[in-house]
A and B are shown apart, each in its own frame.
Chain A
Amino acid sequence: MNVAQINNVTKTFGKTHAVNDLSFEVRKGEIFGLLGPNGAGKTTCIRLMLDIFKPDRGTISILGGAMSEEKKDRIGYLPEDRGLYQDIPLERCLVYLGTLKGLSSSEARKRVTPFLEKFDLSLHKKKKIKELSKGMQQKAQIIATLLHQPELIIIDEPFSGLDPVNTQMVKDMIRNLRNQGTTILMSTHQMRQVEELCERILLINEGRGVLYGKLEDIQRQHTGSDLYVRIDGSLPPLPCVLQIASYNKGYKLTLGEGISSQEILRALIERNIRVEQFEIAVPSLDEIFIRTVKKVG
């Protein structure tokens, strides 16, 4: 079942196509990565999904249909530009944001306490938000996103401003939520986190989808042109190798078109070279991202 279904959606601001004929789906219980360079249209896409903006063309189905007030209460949103009232105490701010997600004041207050304990913020609950550190504010924002136990969570750059300990905590929390059946759409620039967490991704550039599917499949599609090789001695000249670079006490070989890794391995063995490591290089998401965006650009 799809939690979100976006079909041929277009949104323009003046003459700019922020989102251009975009289609994708987010499946129930998955962690979906929404990637793209700055200004690619990720935030507009999220705002369209949340019904903050209306699409010019196309249809958006969230949690089984058009957006409604009741459905807004089933979605948690962590925006990239963190938004909290600066001049009021932390606890009051969280309770208020909880009530806007359909919780009663007493229920929201009841739920805030364990979250504050979990995020080590209990001692700061009476402090004004502006008195908290950036990391604490980030944690407070995450609490506001999760307080009403949403079915779909949309998080924009969830790790920005967090130290490694809290980054790990948020990652574990995302995994736990996924294990409990919550669907998560994550927009981030941190490709390592995407590789660690996401099952499927959509890469958008200039409002259009340029890569979409399972992360493994995408990486496999971009595999095959690079090899990691470590040998005893120096590397002899090899046929059809476009580029040789030093890599981790060995070499990274970029192969020319039409040549397979088997042919390189055969060439090394034929020269009686002792091969210590021979590995097909799976490109990182970073590399795929840069390569794809450059190609499209």
Chain B
Amino acid sequence: MNKIYHILRYEIITTLSRKSFLFVVFGAPILAVFIFFIISQINKGKSSTLGESKESPGKSDGLKVEGYVDYSGLIEEIPDDAPKGVLISYPDENSCKDNLSSGTISAYYVIPEDYLETGDLIYMNPHYSPSVSRGQSWVMTRTISANLLGNDPASVEKFRHVMNLKEKPLAPIKKSREPEASSFAMPYATALIFVMILMTSSSLLLHSVTEEKKNMVMEVLLSSVTPRQILTGKILGLGIVGLMQGAFWAGAGFSILSLRGGAQQVSFGFTHSIFILGWIIVSFIFGYFLYASMMAGLGAMSPNMKEASQATFLVIWPIILCLSLSGYLIPNAHGSVAVFLSLFPLTSPIVMLMRLVVGGVPWWQPVLALFLLAFAAILVVRSVARMFQASLLLSGQPMSARRYYRALLGRG
């Protein structure tokens, strides 16, 4: 046990003292946060300048000033609980266009005459971006709602909390919600970050094993510890590094979203965020054990880093498959393909994560996915521990897919 601790400690310290690794894990996110911070400061400066110089001082929270033309005559006043100075009324569209081109407003709404019949509203934004533009539409929604309810605060309050909905699905949900641009981006980005962390940690393990083979350290190690101790120490050590990386990236990601004023947007997908967070952590641990063990097996069987790197496809193809299919899986998050892949251990850490972020997944499915993933991870770790033997670690035989899969299935 003590020796496993020493191996684990060595792997953590060695990995964290590598400059390239430090840059990828810490430098890149810090740089990204810094860039977004600068951008947000510039944007903040711009919008506050606009706000102060025009007719609506005192507006808040870095929201941009937007205009509206109300042909329906619905909006009599801006409600008290809407941010002040964010919406400016104009008599016609031409005035809006003039103010837009002069930079007084960043976008404008047109409320048509027949709004009450059709419910249609036109949003004119010269810098349209699916993930950002809808960020402050709630101001207009709140304004219209209040005016529809006669600007009575009690009615508005009741309207906002019209019911306390508790979802209890009775059967698998066949059809997902209509995908919005951000509801695709969020699951995809979350899964992508998850994959990157998983792959970084697993690749570190592969690199560590092949490096020790190349440097002939393996024989020295084997005279002191058993192959199983080496494998355990490495998996645990590099897993901890992966979790640290994940925590840091998640923190950086949240900081970026906060700077963009999008932190609120994140919460819409994470209706059960604690549950999802818990699921992500546990599935990362099992997913890491699964993939890292397979990578370690690859390292044990490959004579050098070059062959090992070329053979990584044998391990990561399920991940590539998931990411390639994400365009189909996210809009059809509750279709049979998505459900199958979210339960299949090699793909569940990614596909289930996508589905959870989209929402509406029956509780038993993530639980079952975790159970299957844990079971598969245990089987694979045991199988790779058998592969991780001296005759393989010290051999220079060329790598072959057939040999690898046979060894993984215990037939090597």
Question: A88 contacts the other chain (Cβ, under 8 Å)?
Answer: yes
Binds A, one of B106-114, B170-178, B179-187, B220-228: B220-228
* A79 at interface by CB-CB < 8 Å: yes
Picked from B212, B215, B220, B390, the residue with its CB within 8 Å of the CB of A97 is B220
Q: Mark B183-221, 1 if CB is under 8 A from A, else 0.
A: 000000000000000000000000000011001111111
Q: Which of A81-113 contact B (CB under 8 A)?
A: 81-88, 96-97, 99-102, 105
User: CB-CB < 8 A to A84: which residues of B?
Assistant: 215, 217, 220
Residues of B within 8 A of A87 (CB): 14
* Interface size, chain A (Cβ < 8 Å): 27
Determine if A82 and B216 form an interchain contact, defined as CB atoms under 8 angstroms apart.
Answer: yes
The answer to whether B215 touches A83, judged by C-beta atoms less than 8 angstroms apart, is: yes
Tell me if A143 is interfacial: C-beta within 8 Å of chain B: no
Q: Is the CB of B6 within 8 A of A53?
A: no
The answer on a CB contact under 8 Å between A101 and B215 is: no
Q: Is B102 an interface residue (CB 8 A)?
A: no
| A-B contacts at CB below 8 angstroms, number | 67
A83 and B390 form a contact (CB under 8 A): no
CA distance A246 to B7 in the complex (A): 61
Total residues of chain B contacting the partner, CB 8 A? 23
Contact pattern, B 113-125, Cβ under 8 Å of A = 1, otherwise 0 = 0000000000000
Interface code A32-57, partner B: CB below 8 Å = 1, 0 otherwise? 00000000000000010010110000
User: Provided the pairs A83-B215, A88-B14, A96-B6 are in contact, do residues A52 and B220 lie with their beta carbons within 8 angstroms?
Assistant: no
Q: Does the CB pair B216–A83 fall under 8 Å?
A: yes
The distance from the CB of B396 to the nearest CB of chain A, in whole angstroms, is: 11
* Candidates A13, A53, A69, A83; contact of B220 at CB < 8 Å: A83
Whether A72 is near chain B, meaning CB under 8 Å from some CB there, is yes
- Chain B residues near A105 (CB-CB < 8 A): 6
The 10 closest A-B pairs by CB, nearest first: A83-B216, A100-B224, A83-B217, A77-B223, A81-B216, A83-B220, A99-B6, A52-B390, A52-B222, A79-B219
Q: Name A residues whose Cβ lies closer than 8 Å to a Cβ of B.
A: 13, 47, 50, 52-53, 69, 72-73, 75, 77, 79, 81-88, 96-97, 99-102, 105, 144
Given contacts A53-B391, A101-B224, 5 further A-B contacts (CB under 8 A): A47-B394, A69-B3, A81-B216, A83-B220, A100-B225
